[in-house]
Amino acid sequence: MRQRIVITGMGLVSPVGSTLDTAWQNVCEGRSGIRAVEHFDVSNFPTKIAGTVQGFDADAVMDKKEQRRTDTFLHYGMGAAKSAVDDAGLDIAALDADRIGVSIGSGIGGIGTIERYAVILNETQSIKKVSPFFVPSSIINMVSGQVSMALGAKGPNLASVSACATSVHSIGLAARMIAYGDADAMIAGGAEAGCTPMGMAGFCAVRAMSTRNDDPAAASRPWDKDRDGFVLADGAAVLVLESEQHAKARGAHIYAELTGFGMSGDAFHVTMPSEDGDGAFRGMSAALKDAGLNAADLNYINAHATSTHAGDLAETLALKRLLGDAAAKVPVSSTKSVTGHLLGAAGGLEAIFSILAIRDGVLPPTINLDNPDEGCDLDFVPHTARDAKVDAVLSNSFGFGGTNGSLVFQRYK
């Protein structure tokens, strides 16, 4: 029999703050983390705004020498992971380290480091100018590697790479490792630092991002008729998952239970979802089946909803199909309206917000939803947070390549 999986710790680095309390308060109060990009010259970019990280001190988690040798996404991942482990009170040295693993992925990884050394090599034509730390500082699995080395976690060590579904897949697969006996606890989530010249240029090239540069706080506007694309953001989010038995044996505080995980593939297009949201529907359905729930049992859905025309409508259609007669009753919101889109870290951040919604009985709002687009007519919790009894939450993440992932969290009983 598979074991029950509980969440005992959470940590984040985000555009709305880098502590749980600060970030959650800002999300619930609708305080946008979108701002003008200042860390490189964007004067020639059509998009000049992003969700840049606030309140993070890399010195608190890595020494200066190690920071110089590693990409920013590794700094964020390390910060979120250490915060989550501290929050869980997980003393790995006092436990069986062979039974504690790490599963932290990224959608893009060390793109900033890659582009920096590409320029250096092109300008100098000398491989001597390329750091011996270039590869280990930029490859995606090194967040898990660095975290395991820093914390002494010797269990399963891996990194999922599935675009914007990365964190959900990292968390879901980690849960299954615990459920079927490969580990007692897993440190799982995602990290991203894609707000670089090449990162932003790439998304600008496909015309996927908002150009509402004169009003950054209003740029991310899921389901709104006037939305013009998503807002890129950076950060990391990590959860500590444990078997119920392991958590109870050490007297851990339990936030919630992870009861469902579902995946699917669109098999449709490189960047666009199928118009009817079929892939999203199948992924959500699989998560509910895994949890043993009906759609009507859900009290809240944290949607993927990035603020693109095709994506928001496709997810709405998928939700209507999933919820059926309950479509008008189940609240849905997009916290990306406040945080922007953290790509491979988005699902981890939204999992944390979903769990805090259960803890506090608060539905975070969708800000900037001034004029709902045609067909986008669910209860999207517009503008302001709402008090509600929340026992079961579905959290969605969908990515380029037609990859989909959904998680179900429930109040622990």
Tens of pLDDT along the chain (413 residues) come to 589 999 999 999 999 999 999 999 999 999 999 999 999 999 999 999 999 999 999 999 999 999 999 999 999 999 999 999 999 999 999 999 999 999 999 999 999 999 999 999 999 999 999 999 999 999 999 999 999 999 999 999 999 999 999 999 999 999 999 999 999 999 999 999 999 999 999 999 999 999 999 999 999 999 999 999 999 999 999 999 999 999 999 999 999 999 999 999 999 999 999 999 999 999 999 999 999 999 999 999 999 999 999 999 999 999 999 999 999 999 999 999 999 999 999 999 999 999 999 999 999 999 999 999 999 999 999 999 999 999 999 999 999 999 999 999 999 99
Grouping H, G, I as helix, E, B as strand and the rest as coil, residue 384 is coil
Decide if 166 contacts 235 (C-beta within 8 A): no
CA dist 103 and 189 (Å) reads: 7
Residue showing tokens 């429930």: 410
What is the Cα 332 distance to its own chain's centre?
17
Q: What residues act catalytically?
A: 164, 304, 341
Query: Which of 50, 75, 51, 266 has its CA nearest to residue 165?
Result: 266
Which amino acid does the sequence have at 250? R
Q: Residue 257 — φ and ψ, nearest 5°?
A: -115, 135
Q: Where are the domains of the chain?
A: 7-249, 257-410
- Residue 89: partners with Cβ closer than 8 Å, 6 or more residues away: 8, 9, 250, 252, 253
Token match 């929340």: residue?
390
Rounded Cα distance between 203 and 201, Å, is: 6
Q: Which residues of 315-341 are buried (b: 16+ CB within 10 A; e: fewer)?
A: bbbbbbbbbeeebeebbbbbbbbbbbb
Burial class from Cβ neighbours inside 10 Å (0-12, 13-18, 19+) for residue 383 reads middle
**Class of the CATH-defined domain 7-249:** alpha beta
- Token pair 């953290």 is found at 342
Helix, strand, coil share of the chain (percent; to 5) = 40, 20, 40
Structure tokens at 76: 């964020």
Stated as kind and residue range, the H or E segment containing 403 is strand 403-410
User: By CB neighbour count within 10 A (0-12 exposed, 13-18 middle, 19+ buried), where does 132 fall?
Assistant: exposed
Q: Which token pair is 312?
A: 């928001």
Helix (H, G, I), strand (E, B) or coil at 7: strand
Domain 7-249 and domain 257-410, same fold? Reply is: yes
- Contact at 8 Å (CB) between 231 and 219? yes
Distance CA 411, CA 413 (A): 6
Residue 115, token pair as written in the block: 């582009």
Measured from the Cβ of residue 248, the count of other Cβ atoms closer than 10 Å reads 12
C-alpha gyration radius of the chain: 20
**Buried b vs exposed e over 64-95: b needs ≥16 C-beta within 10 Å?**
eebbebbbbbbbbbbbbbbbbbebbebebeeb
Reported pTM:
0.97
The closest alpha carbon to 73, from 88, 58, 85, belongs to 58
Report pLDDT for 1: 57
Contact 258, 358 (CB under 8 A): no
How far is residue 127's CA from residue 121's CA, in Å, rounded to a whole number?
7
The residue type at 413:
K
Task: Please state the φ and ψ torsions of residue 106, each to the nearest 5 degrees.
Answer: -155, 150
Strand-strand pairing, 392-399 and 403-410: antiparallel
**Does domain 257-410 fall into CATH 3.40.47.10?**
yes
